[in-house]
């Protein structure tokens, strides 16, 4: 394993809890992971497992009902959790990390031309004039495959796929070292999905950007992933190299998640996991997956530590 100093991003014990009338929702509960330069990690998990909350915690896009928000987030060796809001805005937002949101449909201001919206971060963070920023906009539009004359269009005049590309161009315009993509393709048809994934691959290759891709679409994401992190009930249960992960996942949840993907040219029916994910309000003590796990034994009533297994980390007593 490489040391912290060589990593682009290093998250240690990130916690984000929300206050609700029923109690504290532990949406992100002690997440650790690392990411190197020009690498892509895919964060996989069911709906409601805390994937989007993880991206919010990472980008400090907090809702009003935050109960607990703590941990360390080292971005290029600087703990950005220590910055105040104004420092964070100036030094991290779109300079260090940018975002391609879940619903690009609504992520663009309906009354501003898309060119202006893409140019905005470049003008603010890079101090460019509007004309210079537009130069970058045209370049980015070319990268993501949007015709140049679309700069003068309004979001409602674009198709869903085009809007997603514009959102991607917007994320790229300041050349950040890391882009968080929150289900960038989930609202799109299969052909457009494939197109966007190809654009992402090309950008990673050409611009050397790192990606955190948050999705539940295992098949599409496997094309881009260098690393995989499996999230379950607010925690990362398995994290490691994608090449090793996809053929042989370690954690029982990962195995069942992978088995639930329908396969072409195979007689085996897709599997499903019985039961429900635990409530994040009162997660069970010990392993959070224990109730649904076919391999559970006495040890599982205690919280499993993270075990190193080859170049993968797994949070399961089976690998003690």
Partner 1 sequence: MSVTTHTPSEKLAIRRTSANNTFFRVARYVGVRLLTLFITVVIGIYLTIMIANMGGYVDEIIKNQIRDSVTQSVAASPNAQQMDPEVRKKLIADRIALEEKRRGLDTPIAVRNARYLVNALQLDLGRAINLTSDAGSKQVRLIILERLPATLLLMGTSQLFLFFSSVFIALTLSRSYGSFWDKLVIALSPTSAVPPWFYGIFLILIFAAGLRVLPFGGMVDSPPPPNTFDYAVSVLKHLMLPGLSLVLSSFFLSVYNYRTFFLIYSSEDYVEMAKAKGLPTRDVERTYILRPTLPNIITNFSLLIIGLWTGALFTETVFLWPGLGRTLFQAIGLYDVPIIVGSTIIYAYMLALTVFILDFVYALVDPRVKIGE
Residues in contact with partner 1 by the rule CB under 8 A: 59, 61, 64, 89-90, 92-95, 98-99, 101, 103, 106-112, 120-121, 124-125, 145, 147, 154, 156, 161-162, 170, 195
User: What's the min distance (Å) between Cβ of 130 and partner 1?
Assistant: 14
Integer-rounded Cα radius of gyration of the chain: 20
Long-range own/partner contacts, residues 103-110 (CB < 8 A, 24 or more apart): 103/187, 104/160, 104/163, 104/164, 104/166, 104/167, 104/184, 104/187, 105/160, 105/163, 105/187, 107/163, 107/167, 108/155, 108/163, 108/166, 108/167, 109/155, 110/154, 110/155, 110/156
User: What's the min distance (Å) between Cβ of 156 and partner 1?
Assistant: 5
Closer residue to partner 1 (CB): 161 or 234: 161
Closer residue to partner 1 (CB): 68 or 296: 68
Token representation of residue 45: 């998990």
User: What's the min distance (Å) between Cβ of 120 and partner 1?
Assistant: 6
User: What's the min distance (Å) between Cβ of 234 and partner 1?
Assistant: 21
Q: Rounded distance, CA 254 to CA 274, Å?
A: 14
Q: Is 262 exposed, middle or buried (0-12, 13-18, 19+ CB in 10 A)?
A: exposed
Closer residue to partner 1 (CB): 93 or 312: 93
Closer residue to partner 1 (CB): 195 or 221: 195
Closer residue to partner 1 (CB): 180 or 228: 180
Closer residue to partner 1 (CB): 99 or 228: 99
Residues 136, 119 contacting (CB under 8 angstroms): yes
User: What's the min distance (Å) between Cβ of 14 and partner 1?
Assistant: 17
Query: What does the buried/exposed string (b/e) look like for 190-225 if buried means 16 or more CB atoms within 10 Å of the residue's CB?
Result: eebbebbbebbeebbeeeebbbbbbbebbebbbebb
Residues 319, 239 contacting (CB under 8 angstroms): no
Closer residue to partner 1 (CB): 98 or 220: 98
Closer residue to partner 1 (CB): 56 or 251: 56
User: What's the min distance (Å) between Cβ of 52 and partner 1?
Assistant: 12
User: What's the min distance (Å) between Cβ of 68 and partner 1?
Assistant: 17
| Measured CA angle at 289 (ends 288, 292), to 5 deg | 135
Q: Rounded distance, CA 272 to CA 301, Å?
A: 24
Determine phi and psi for 174, rounding to 5 degrees: -95, 10
Q: Rounded distance, CA 136 to CA 173, Å?
A: 6
User: What's the min distance (Å) between Cβ of 228 and partner 1?
Assistant: 25
The number of CA neighbours under 13 Å toward the Cβ of 236 is 28
């Amino acid at each position: 394993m490489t040391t912290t100093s060589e990593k682009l991003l290093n998250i240690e014990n990130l916690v984000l809890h929300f206050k609700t009338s029923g109690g504290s929702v532990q949406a992100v509960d002690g997440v650790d992971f690392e990411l190197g330069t020009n690498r892509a990690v895919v964060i996989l998990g069911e709906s409601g497992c805390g994937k989007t909350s993880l991206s919010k915690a990472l980008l400090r896009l907090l809702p009003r009902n935050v109960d607990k928000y703590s941990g360390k987030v080292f971005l290029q060796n600087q703990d950005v959790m220590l910055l105040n809001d104004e420092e964070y805005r100036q030094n991290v937002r779109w300079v260090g990390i940018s975002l391609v949101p879940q619903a690009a449909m609504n992520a663009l201001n309906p009354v501003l031309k898309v060119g202006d919206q893409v140019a905005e971060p470049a003008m603010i963070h890079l101090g460019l004039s509007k004309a210079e920023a537009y130069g970058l906009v045209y370049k980015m539009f070319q990268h993501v495959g949007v015709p140049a004359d679309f700069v003068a269009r309004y979001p409602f005049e674009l198709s869903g796929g085009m809007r997603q590309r514009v959102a991607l161009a917007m994320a790229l315009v300041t050349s950040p070292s890391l882009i968080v993509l929150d289900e960038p393709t989930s609202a799109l048809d299969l052909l457009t999905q494939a197109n966007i994934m190809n654009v992402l691959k090309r950008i990673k290759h050409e611009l050397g950007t790192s990606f955190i891709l948050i999705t539940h679409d295992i098949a599409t994401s496997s094309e881009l992933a260098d690393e995989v992190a499996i999230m379950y009930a607010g925690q990362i249960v398995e994290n490691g190299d994608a090449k090793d992960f996809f053929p042989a996942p370690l954690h029982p949840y990962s195995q069942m998640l992978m088995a639930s993907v329908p396969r072409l040219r195979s007689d085996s029916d897709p599997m499903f996991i019985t039961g429900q994910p635990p409530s994040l309000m009162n997660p069970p003590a010990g392993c959070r997956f224990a109730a649904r796990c076919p391999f559970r034994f006495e040890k599982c009533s205690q919280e499993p530590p993270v075990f190193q297994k080859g170049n993968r980390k797994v949070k399961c007593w089976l690998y003690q």
